[in-house]
């Protein structure tokens, strides 16, 4: 299948990865002034309400069974985002965290094999030890001790891998914008009670915190979803997946610019191995894309 609008799709998806990278900065700045789980709840409630407005026509056609299926995947999304924000709160290095979180891409076919009996591409089994070696090198940075933030990011990657598998099976026939609205709203609905239970009762956020929260909700979540869905509609899933792999790279670069982060040789090698694993896991698609281009 040849994409109908290849340049437009590439630009939209590239913008998506840049916005996603900026979202790491927005979120890190926001949780300096608001508790992490409360931030996630508010971010996704705001973004979900906006997405629901855009998807209001599709949502009217959702029956109870469709809502149930969307809710199952939305609950996993809430768990993944909860682990992700806790990873961000405990993380010493955003670029490193972004590469660990991206391990979910490598694990998608592995989970497909374990839980759904699918036969993954042969290169998946080559990518897996490379990814594990990369994670192992990152743990060596702290004296062969996995930091709490690294554990949380790894947990988020595991949940995301399961989530992607379910998304392709449970809700494959549902309109994507309405599905996104339900899932995003459900993150806020499920995380908010937990946040109020385990975190200090929130006070009024200052103007800077409110600004970062709104940027996270309206730019890094709402706008990102809209651009990504539009870009994916103009190209093939495999082509979109290749471009979206750039998110951890941009995140590391943006974090270096904004926070002045640097990587040690061990961190650079670990992140490099993880990125190599991402490329290996998508190599069949990359090779097909290169053949089509040249």
For the chain, what is the HEC assignment? CCCCCHHHHHHHHHHHHHHHHHHHHHHHHHCCCCCHHHHHHHHHHHHHHHHHHHCHHHHCCCCHHHHHHHHHHHHHHHHHHHHHHHHHHHCCCHHHHHHHHCHHHHHHHHHHHHHHCCCCCHHHHHHHHHHHHHHHHHHHCCCCCCCHHHHHHHHHHHHHHHHHHHHCCCCCCCCHHHHHHHHHHHHHHHHHHHHHHHCCCCCCCCHHHHHHHHHHHHHHHHHHHHHHHHHHHCCCHHHHHHHHCCHHHHHHHHHHHHHCCCCCHHHHHHHHHHHHHHHHHCHHHHHHHHHHHC
pLDDT at 8: 84
pLDDT at 101: 93
pLDDT at 217: 97
Give the dihedral of Cα atoms 101, 78, 244, 12; nearest 10 deg: -150
Cα distance between residue 62 and residue 39, in whole Å? 29
**How do the pLDDT tens digits run along the chain, 294 residues long?**
445 557 788 899 999 999 999 999 999 999 999 999 999 999 999 999 999 999 999 888 888 888 888 888 899 999 999 999 999 999 988 999 999 999 988 888 888 888 888 887 788 888 989 999 999 888 877 666 778 899 999 999 999 999 888 877 776 778 889 989 999 999 999 999 999 999 987 777 899 999 999 999 999 999 999 998 888 878 766 667 778 888 999 999 999 999 999 988 999 999 999 999 998 888 877 777 667 666
Cα distance between residue 254 and residue 260, in whole Å? 9
pLDDT at 84: 96
pLDDT at 2: 45
Cα distance between residue 282 and residue 66, in whole Å? 31
Cα distance between residue 247 and residue 84, in whole Å? 15
pLDDT at 290: 67
Closest CA to 48 of 228, 164, 186, 210: 186
pLDDT at 241: 76
pLDDT at 1: 45
Work out the burial of residue 153: count CB atoms within 10 Å of its CB; fewer than 13 is exposed, 13-18 middle, 19 or more buried: buried
Do 277 and 128 contact (CB within 8 A), yes or no? yes
Indicate the pTM of the whole model.
0.91
Closest CA to 282 of 155, 120, 44, 145: 120
Cα distance between residue 266 and residue 263, in whole Å? 8
- C-alpha to C-alpha distances, 5 to 28, 227, 239, 240, 281, nearest whole angstrom: 35, 14, 12, 12, 26
Token pair of 129, please? 């030890």
Work out the burial of residue 233: count CB atoms within 10 Å of its CB; fewer than 13 is exposed, 13-18 middle, 19 or more buried: middle
């Amino acid at each position: 299948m040849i994409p109908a609008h290849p340049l437009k799709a590439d630009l939209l998806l590239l913008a998506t990865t840049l916005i996603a990278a900026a979202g790491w900065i927005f979120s890190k700045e926001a949780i300096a002034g608001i508790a992490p789980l409360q931030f996630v709840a508010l971010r996704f409630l705001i973004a979900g309400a906006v997405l629901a407005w855009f998807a209001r026509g599709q949502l009217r056609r959702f029956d109870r069974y469709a809502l149930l299926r969307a809710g199952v995947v939305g609950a996993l999304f809430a768990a993944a985002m909860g682990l992700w924000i806790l990873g961000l709160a405990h993380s010493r290095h955003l670029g490193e965290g972004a590469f660990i979180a991206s391990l979910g891409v490598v694990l998608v076919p592995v989970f497909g094999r374990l839980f759904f009996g699918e036969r993954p591409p042969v290169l998946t089994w080559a990518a897996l030890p490379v990814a594990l070696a990369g994670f192992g090198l990152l743990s060596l940075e702290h004296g062969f001790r996995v930091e709490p933030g690294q554990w949380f990011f790894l947990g988020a990657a595991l949940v995301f891998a399961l989530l992607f598998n379910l998304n392709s099976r449970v809700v494959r026939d549902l309109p994507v914008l309405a599905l996104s609205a339900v899932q995003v709203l459900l993150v806020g609905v499920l995380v908010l009670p937990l946040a109020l239970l385990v975190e200090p009762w929130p006070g009024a956020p200052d103007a800077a915190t409110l600004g970062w929260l709104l940027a996270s909700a309206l730019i890094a979540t709402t706008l990102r979803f809209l651009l990504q869905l539009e870009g994916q509609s103009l190209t093939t899933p495999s082509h979109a997946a290749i471009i979206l792999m750039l998110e951890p790279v941009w995140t590391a670069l943006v974090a270096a610019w904004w926070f002045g982060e640097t990587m040690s040789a061990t961190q650079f090698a670990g992140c490099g191995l993880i990125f190599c694993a991402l490329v290996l896991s998508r190599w069949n698609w990359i090779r097909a894309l290169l053949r089509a281009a040249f």
